[in-house]
Amino acid sequence: MNMGNGSIYADKFYMAQSEYEDIVFGEHLQDGMIVLVADTALRANMDAIHDAYDKDRADEHNRWCEVTRLQTRPGSTGTLVTFVGVYPDGTQRVRKYSTEYAWIVKRLDRICETTEETE
Q: Where are the domains of the chain?
A: 21-108
Digitized pLDDT (tens) for each residue of the chain, 119 residues in all: 233 334 589 999 999 999 999 999 999 999 999 999 999 999 999 999 999 999 999 999 999 999 999 999 998 888 999 999 999 999 999 999 999 999 999 997 754 554 455 55
Give the pLDDT of residue 37: 97
**Looking at this protein, which amino acid is placed at residue 64?**
W
Give the pLDDT of residue 18: 93
By CB neighbour count within 10 A (0-12 exposed, 13-18 middle, 19+ buried), where does 13 fall? Answer: exposed
Give the pLDDT of residue 119: 53
Give the pLDDT of residue 6: 42
Give the pLDDT of residue 117: 52
Would you identify the CATH topology of the domain 21-108?
A: SH3 type barrels. (2.30.30)
Of 70, 69, 48, 68, whose CA–CA distance to 57 is shortest?
48
This prediction's pTM: 0.82
